[in-house]
Structures are given as structure tokens and as C-alpha cells.
Amino acid sequence: MDIRLTNSRTRKKELFRPIDPTNVRLYVCGPTVYDRAHLGNARPVLVFDVLFRLLRHVYGEGHVTYVRNFTDVDDKINATALARKEAGAPGTLEELVRERSDETIGWYHADMDALGALRPTHEPRATAYIGEMIAMIAGLIESGHAYAAEGHVLFAVDSYAGYGALSGRSVEDMIAGARVEVAPYKKNPMDFVLWKPSTDDLPGWNSPWGRGRPGWHIECSAMSHALLGDTFDIHGGGNDLLFPHHENEIAQSACAHPEGEFAKVWLHNEMLQVEGKKMSKSLGNFFTVRDLLEQGVPGEVIRFVMLSTHYRKPMDWTAEKAREAEATLRRWRKFTASADESSSADRTVVLALCDDLNTAGAIAALHEIYKTGGPHDLKQSAQLLGLLTPEMGGWYDGKASASAEELIEHALNVRAEAKAAKDYATADAYRDLLNRAGVIVNDTKERTTWEIGPDFDPSILEENM
């Protein structure tokens, strides 16, 4: 099936043609591992997890290579390690940095696993590719695209004519709109750091330019080249990375490996809001994935809400959406409880995902399958989005409660008997009763189904039946 994706570089929806259909290659910028992943961090994970699943569905599970890195060289990680050392923690600073990175990566895996995200093919750590970074930087200096100054190495933006093509802005516009570090050793204010010195009390590596550590941007260029080659198919991330990170990646990679094209397609997801506002600690609406999980919001519900908005649109997390998602998933899990694995994903769902990863359209198609299709079709189709999988079902007990379900089924049976006897007043009264109790009744030609709504109150049924 043909896949079409909106390429940020061309600003057009394009037909996706992999370089090698037997090895489709995807790189996504991963987290800096200094703390728990917040809810916004989960959005690109889930967006590109669905893309990974779709590519595997179309090209075969063994024909897709997905790389998502861990940035474990960072001032915040260093600060945490230093604080632990000053508090008397045993071990060298390097050991404490590694300890903090290991701890945070463990949290990240646990949280993303809870959201149903598949592990990528490779999850490289920046610290394992320092040699490759040093070699790339040395090559850039030799070719005239970078220069050493006062222990730093900087990329010379003027040396790359295509700088700014991804973001669509001129260098002058970027200087005016960005926080540019002013430093006397820079030849151009936009020149960015490839290597910077480390003091004795900070982690560092020996290099031709002295003991130091890499700049952020060079890390992804070195890791993607080592694992995916000069040219690969798709590079993804949040649109907050478009400039300067991805712009700088393109510049240094294109100059270091002019024989390649780096990434052919660039995909960027929009940001997340909470109840219509930007998530921030000052507004009191900042929370991590673990916060939600510990509050009892199932990972499958978080996933459903996230995928209900197209990746290129801002996603607004609300408590109401979470309640509605849980009600829908309860209904679908009840409907598919006896479904086997005999069918394949419905074509309408696959086509929606092939159309620029339209997860919202795919979920709309799942609603239609529930209304008119069979449980096998719904289960297999939902699993293409990572929903209704056995691994994600631990939260679901199959019923609101035994007594509540019995009352609902009894009310529906009485209503059905009244309708059959043409006693429409009684039938309407029971439907009204169910609605007041927060039970959503769905009538189709084929069947009557129900779901627990966000305001479900079983006491209303108990008092009136």
C-alpha cells in the first residue's frame, strides 16, 4: 500500500518511496535522560511508534530499522551527579553520571512500555559514540566547515549554502528570532558548538582540541550515520527540534558526508497542551507520564487520547478526553473479549494511517467497525495502533462491576421487551433512566450496545429498579 507523508523539508505531502524496501530506516531524536518523561515527551514516542508499526505492516517486521537515541551527556545530568557526590554518594563523578543515566533510562523504558510503545531496533547512548563524533568533527575542520577556537570547535554556518532550508528562514531572521550565544571566539553569531572544553570536575574525553565533551547537535549526526549510513529514509521529532537542532544536524551531516543525502523525509509532530494551555510548572498543569499512571489513568487510555489528534495538530490533553477514552476502550474490550487472531487489520484503518499517519481518522474508522463489523476485525485493526493488545489490557476488568452490569443488562432487556410489545412509553422511560445513570446506549440495525459514560452513577439504577 502507498504511504504518503508530509515532508517538513518540502512542506508537501509526498509519496513515500524507501531507499531499500528490505531495510526501511527511521531515526527519531530521543530524550535527554536527566529526569522523568513528562506528558509532552510521550507524544513523539507514540507518533513514531505508530509509524514504526505501519512500516512493519507494509514492508515486513524484519525490514524496518528504527533508531532512537539517549542523550546522556548533559549539564543537568552532571548537576545531579555532582549533587549526589557532594552529599557523600560513593563513586567517581563519571560513575555517578552513569548511575543517574541508567536510573533515568530505566524510568523511561518503564513509562513508555506502559504506553504500549515498542522498543526501537537500536537505542544508542551518546557516550558510546564519542569516537565517531570526534572523527566527524575532525573531518569538518579538514574540509573547512568547522574551526577550533579557545578549546571549542564550531561549525561555520557560512560554509553551508543550504543552511535554513528546513526551517524556511534566512540566517538574519534566525539571528533576530533566536537566543544566540554571543562569544568572542565565534566568527559568525550563528556558528554552533561541535565540541566544548570540560573542567576537571566535569565528565570529559580527550580529543585533538583538548579534554572536553560534544555539543548536542553532533551527537545525533554521528549516531544516525553509524547505524543508518550516509542516507536514510525518515528523520523525526517534535517541531520544537526543527530549529536549531535539526537544522544544525542537516548542515553538519551534509558537509561531513556530501556523498549522501542524510534524511530524505523529515516528520515533525506538534506540541501538547493541557486543558487548552501550554504545559508548565508555573501554571500547575505540568505532570509526568508516571504521575498519570500513579493517579490510575491506564497507559492504554493515555495512548488513545494522544492518537485521537493528528500528529501535525496541537494535542490538548483534558480529563474529559481521558474519561471518554476509557469508556470507549471498556466498550471495545468487552466487545472483543472472545475475538481470536484470525483476521487482519481493516483496510479503512490501514488507508487512514497510510495517509500521513492519520491516527484520528483510523480511530474514527475503528468506531465504525465497532458499530457494523465483527469483534475480530476491531481487535486486529486496533492492534495496528497499539490498542487492544494483551499487554495493554491489565487495567481492564471486563465490567463496571458485577451488580452494575446486571442492572444495565436488565434495564436493556426490559426496554427491548417493551419495544417488541410496542410499549414505547416504557421503552423510552428505561432509555431515559439509563441515560440519567450515565450509561450511553447505542442502537443500530444490527444490535444495541452500551458503554459506561464519564458520569456513570449506578446508584440511580439501584434506586429506580
Q: Burial letters for 441-456: b for 16+ Cβ neighbours within 10 Å, e otherwise?
A: beeeeeeebbbbbeeb
Q: If 0-12 CB within 10 Å is exposed, 13-18 middle and 19+ buried, where does residue 139 land? A: middle
Residue 57 assigned to a binding site? no
Would you state the cell numbers that stand for residue 448, as one nine-digit string?
Answer: 444495541
Cβ contact 301:326 at 8 Å:
yes
Q: If 0-12 CB within 10 Å is exposed, 13-18 middle and 19+ buried, where does residue 36 land? A: middle
Residue 220 assigned to a binding site? yes
Tell me which amino acid residue 426 is: T
Would you state the cell numbers that stand for residue 414, as one nine-digit string?
Answer: 426490559
Distance CA 463, CA 71 (A): 58
Secondary structure letter of residue 180 according to DSSP: P
Would you state the cell numbers that stand for residue 237, as one nine-digit string?
Answer: 521529532
What is residue 66's three-state secondary structure?
strand
Say which residue the cell 463489523 belongs to.
373
Residue 270 assigned to a binding site? no
Residue 145 assigned to a binding site? no
Euclidean distance between the first and final Cα of the chain, in Å? Answer: 53
Residue 249 assigned to a binding site? yes
Q: In what order do the strands lie in the sheet with 272-274?
A: 277-278, 272-274, 315-317
Would you state the cell numbers that stand for residue 231, as one nine-digit string?
Answer: 542516507
Distance CA 310, CA 464 (A): 43
Would you state the cell numbers that stand for residue 55, as one nine-digit string?
Answer: 512500516
- DSSP string for 410-437: HHHHHHHHHHHTT-HHHHHHHHHHHHHT
Binding site members for ATP: 281
Binding site members for Zn(2+): 29, 220, 245, 249
Binding site members: 29, 220, 245, 249, 281
